[in-house]
Structure 1
Amino acid sequence: MKSGTAAFGILSLGVVTLPISDIDRALRFYVDRVGFALDVDYAPNTTFRVVQLTPPGSHCSIQFGRGVTDAPAGSLRNIYLVVTDIETARSRLLERGVEVSELKHKAPIDGWGGAFAPGFDPNHRDYASFAGFSDPDGNTWVLQERGHPDV
């Protein structure tokens, strides 16, 4: 059995659908506060509207709207946003009015069993530092540091 690109070619995640309750409120939150770019806001009739947004530098977008998903609003958990400098990313979100959790990092790094310590990983190791936030409906996001410039 073949796996990976040999079997399928390139598989690239393109869109994650968010269950939200208020399209315009979610649009303002993700564009004005989180800094996503608006790609599409399409409403051909009164029963369907799709809004698609892309995080800066991402190849994957999010979408939400009317007639897009039947999942309960706020039910999506732990969507990861990978950042190269978690302290800066957290600070910028806070400045834009997003409530972001305190930083935490895996502890101990070697032999990690699910515990965390406060603050970022002092060595900025990939996949070790985290913070989180929620959108107005309660969908949750995780900032994860990977590729810090000082490493």
Structure 2
Amino acid sequence: MDMKIELLAVPVSDIDRAKDFYTRIGFSADHDHRVDENIRFVQLTPPGSACSIVLDYNFTEMKPGSLQGIQCVVADADAALADLRAKGVQASDVDEQQWGRFVYFSDPDGNGWALQQLPAYS
């Protein structure tokens, strides 16, 4: 039986600020639906990803900024870093590891992301 991760909740304190941040770095705004005065469903998808995120404002017990280690794979870590910095995002220098090249950054609430360029295996 296949099991595919389709949606990850990212806990935020301000949906509008988070939506602005994620769309600024290239995420697609797929849905923005207000269910009622207390619930707003905002789903965004990273470019090329089959998995989306939902901005979690009181959907789960997670505190804003508590999600760490979300990882996306990119073709070129240097280009990803340059793109993030051009968009005003504070990101780490490229971290060279045997298992890939990584760029780390956080959203405005402190949720931590890693972009990994996979190593070239021969």
TM-score bracket for this pair, using the shorter chain length: over 0.9
Query: Is it true that 1:135 corresponds to 2:107 in the alignment?
Result: yes
Structure 2 residue identity aligned to 1:56: P
Normalised by the size of structure 1, how large is the TM-score? 0.75
Cα RMSD of the aligned pairs, angstroms, is 1.5
CA distance in 2, matches of 1:81, 1:15: 14
Q: 1:22-45 CA distances to partner (integer Å, 9 max, x unpaired)?
A: 00000000001x110000001121
What secondary structure sits across from 1:24 in the alignment? helix
- Measured after TM superposition, the shift of residue 65 of structure 1 is 4.0
- Measured after TM superposition, the shift of residue 73 of structure 1 is 0.5
CA distance in 2, matches of 1:100, 1:27: 19
Q: 1:45-94 CA distances to partner (integer Å, 9 max, x unpaired)?
A: 10111100000000000001434222111000010011011111110111
Greater Rg, structure 1 or structure 2? 1
CA distance in 2, matches of 1:25, 1:140: 16
Structure 2 residue identity aligned to 1:145: Q
Structure 2 residue identity aligned to 1:37: S
Alignment of 1:1-150 (within 5 A): 8=1, 10-32=2-24, 34-106=25-97, 109=98, 127-146=99-118
Runs ≥4 residues deviating over 6 A: none
CA distance in 2, matches of 1:21, 1:66: 6
Normalised by the size of structure 2, how large is the TM-score? 0.92
Give the number of the structure whose residues are more often strand, by fraction: 2
CA distance in 2, matches of 1:62, 1:136: 15
Aligned-residue sequence identity (percent) comes to: 40
Structure 2 residue identity aligned to 1:132: Y
Instruction: Mark the runs of 5 or more structure 1 residues left unpaired by the alignment.
Output: 1-7, 110-126
Cα contact 1:49–1:67 (8 A) shared by 2: no
Count of residues in Structure 1 that have an aligned counterpart in Structure 2:
121
What secondary structure sits across from 1:88 in the alignment? helix
